[in-house]
Amino acid sequence: MFFLNEDHQLFKKAVDEFVEKEAPRENVRLWHRDGVFPYQIYHKMADLGWLGIAVPPAYGGMGLDAIFVALLNEGLARYTFELSLGFSSVNWGVERLIRFGTERQRQQFLPKVAKGEVRFSPSFTEPDAGSDLASLTTSAVARGDHFVLNGQKIFNSGADLKDNYLTVAARTDKEAHRHKGITVFIVHNETPGVTIKRLDFPARRIVSLNEVYYDEVKVPKDMVVGEVNCGWEVVVSQLETERINGAAGYIGTSQTAVEDAMNYARQRVQFGRPIAKFQVIKHMLVDMQMEVDAARLLVYRCASLIKDGKPCAKEASMAKLYAPEVFQKVTANGIQIMGGYGLVGDSDMLRYFLEARPSTIGGGTSQIQREIIAEHMGL
């Protein structure tokens, strides 16, 4: 790929080899069937230094650029987007701590993230505050040396993971403008008053989605990220990175869906010849591969801009918009090519399809991304 230098290419090869050895499709099927998170994979990633890929060297990380991070997300998603999502959940709070955290917070958490000893998960979305996140009602009231947190969150990825910290957005000033008076807190998921309920969500069996309830949860004031009542900037910071890393994961599984459909079409014989020889199937596969490649270019264009320190809000939204829609399209077409075999219970293609369906919703809906792009176009 023209946008990768030699170091990027060597890293990509290492990730691909790691996934084939440690997370082949046979293992993924078992993890998905049993609804388990493969902690052993993340321990091995920590040994390789990959969990600290975005952590600065001063805190025990690798401090690599955005292209390396995107390559890791794409590679991990080879057989399931959830492995990429798990990595993102592990590292969710890293960039926010680098930018907004105190030095004490960075010293406390970043080396442990790099070693695989702690994880972070976002706890932002609420039943009535999804795309309109500024409408959140979870509250935090200052009392002496701590805040008391009350409220409910939903669709929290990986909130129930071991040794996990939640980055919680709460309203600390009810009289302020809706984008003001919000504060972000770091809360361990086993803190008294935190209750986590796993949602029955067929597309998230490895990294669960959860409801989280906060009932009189005491949070020390030194666990505030950034300044009190200035949390909106913390919430929306690094959206470009989060969007392209999610999109990179979608590409990883999309590429496998194309390859699986192509391999099936070469082997499936109807009317005396492989169905891959029929023009209608052949052209479907061509379009699927072309669209995955186009989505990949959007992702790595944005990663290159981030690496060079250039603004890329529009480009990130384009990648986040297009990659999930391609993910949905190629997995649906994969099922069409495979026919009934694509819909049996243990079908990889069916799992890809289920993983693809929420991709246009989570992390900012396709409709929101179009609004962002339109605004940058002056529309």
Q: What is the pLDDT of residue 87?
A: 86
Render pLDDT for 179-191 as a digit per residue (tens, 0 to 9): 999 999 999 999 9
Per-residue confidence (pLDDT) for residue 203, from 0 to 100: 86
Of 303, 317, 310, residue with least CA distance to 377: 317
First to last CA, the chain: 34
89, 149: one domain: no
Asked if residue 165 and residue 244 are part of one domain, the reply reads: no
Same domain, 247 and 371: yes
- CATH number of residue 156's parent domain: 2.40.110.10
Domain identity same for 205 and 91: no
Are 42 and 72 within one domain?
yes
User: Do residues 10 and 90 share a domain?
Assistant: yes
Identify the domain boundary among 209, 231, 253: 231
Which of 115, 139, 166 is the last residue before a domain boundary? 115
Tokens of 324: 């999930």
Q: What pLDDT sits at residue 236?
A: 86
Domain end among 115, 143, 165: 115
Please report which residue ranges of the chain form alpha helices under DSSP H.
6-22, 25-34, 39-48, 66-76, 81-90, 94-100, 103-115, 231-236, 239-267, 279-307, 313-338, 348-356, 366-376
Neighbours of 3 (CB within 10 A): 14
Low-confidence ranges of the chain (pLDDT < 70): 1-2, 90
Q: Which tens digit of pLDDT belongs to each residue from 61-88?
A: 999 999 999 999 999 999 999 999 988 8
What pLDDT is recorded for position 346? 86
- Looking at residue 1, its pLDDT comes to 58
Q: Are residues 246 and 343 in the same domain?
A: yes
pLDDT at 365: 93
Q: Which residues contact 326 (CB under 8 A, 6 or more apart)?
A: 250, 251, 254, 291, 292, 294, 295
Residue 29 belongs to some domain of the structure:
yes
Per the prediction, the chain carries an average pLDDT of 94
Alpha-helical regions (H) of 49-188 = 66-76, 81-90, 94-100, 103-115
Distance set, CA 22 to CA 40, 79, 315, 339 (Å): 9, 11, 33, 30
Clarify whether residues 98 and 149 are in a common domain: no
Query: What range does the domain containing 124 cover?
Result: 119-231
Q: What's the pLDDT at 90?
A: 67
Number of domains in the chain: 3
